[in-house]
Structure formats: structure tokens, C-alpha cells
């Protein structure tokens, strides 16, 4: 994915014009990286929950105990995106960061199950609020 493609993806997400089928695992991480690297006006950990909720509703989704926005996944993904960025040069572009992230274990959509059991991560409690990993801690 190029910087221009990531910019377009991030802007489409923010304006709720991104087609639902394009909101993939990779798109979630590309958007997170874009927000962190290109949008200093956005505090991703605070603002992204509302942004994802609005986006989900804009494409006909529902944010409930079983679908839509998931707090633990969002915060874990942001944590891991920042962890990866801390290991890259300060002038890393979104496209370079995205390529590094997708080449890492985070590129696998099931990466979260290294840290959480399925039962814990898929619980309504983890969807509503941060729930710490129950298998192994996230890297610091």
C-alpha cells in the first residue's frame, strides 16, 4: 500500500465514505498508523473508539455486545502499532510502517490470540472496556 493509498483510506474512514468491504484487518492497521503519523490533532487512543463507532453505523453496522466496536482490540492494536513505530526510524512513512507491520506477526488477523484466549477477547466485557491479556502480556 502506498502513502497516497493510506492517505485516501484514512480520509475515507474519517469521513465515513469508505466502503464496508474495504474495512479489513489491513485497513484497520493502515488507518491506525495514518492517524498516529499524519494526524497530530487526533489522540488515537481517545478518539478512535468514537470514530470506529460512527464509521460502523455509517455502513449499517451495529455497535453492540456481539458486533461492531471492540475496545480491547482497538486499544491493543494501537498499542502494538506504537510499539512497532518505536522500533522504526523517526521519518518512517505510513507506507513503510504498514509494510513492516504487515510483515510482522501483526499481519496475521489472529495475532490477538497470542495474548488473549478467544473466550476472554470475544466477551462483552472486552468489547465494552479494556481487558488485559489473559495468556501473555503485550510487549512494552
Question: In this predicted structure, what is the pLDDT of residue 130?
Answer: 98
pTM for the full model? 0.95
- For 76-124, the pLDDT digits (tens) are 999 999 999 999 999 999 999 999 999 999 999 999 999 999 999 999 9
Question: In this predicted structure, what is the pLDDT of residue 64?
Answer: 95
- For 43-60, the pLDDT digits (tens) are 999 999 999 999 999 999
Residue 4, SS3 per DSSP: helix
Amino acid at each position: 500500500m502506498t502513502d497516497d493509498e493510506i492517505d485516501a483510506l484514512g480520509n475515507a474512514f474519517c469521513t465515513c465514505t469508505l466502503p464496508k468491504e474495504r474495512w479489513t484487518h489491513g485497513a484497520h492497521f493502515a488507518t491506525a498508523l495514518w492517524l498516529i503519523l499524519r494526524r497530530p490533532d487526533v489522540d488515537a487512543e481517545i478518539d478512535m473508539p468514537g470514530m470506529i463507532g460512527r464509521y460502523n453505523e455509517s455502513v449499517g453496522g451495529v455497535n453492540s455486545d456481539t458486533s461492531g466496536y471492540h475496545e480491547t482490540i482497538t486499544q491493543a492494536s494501537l498499542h502494538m502499532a506504537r510499539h512497532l513505530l518505536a522500533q522504526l526510524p523517526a521519518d518512517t512513512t505510513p507506507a513503510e510502517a504498514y509494510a513492516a507491520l504487515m510483515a510482522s506477526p501483526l499481519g496475521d488477523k489472529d495475532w490477538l490470540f497470542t495474548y488473549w484466549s478467544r473466550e476472554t477477547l470475544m466477551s462483552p466485557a472486552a468489547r465494552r472496556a479494556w481487558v488485559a491479556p489473559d495468556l501473555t502480556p503485550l510487549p512494552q
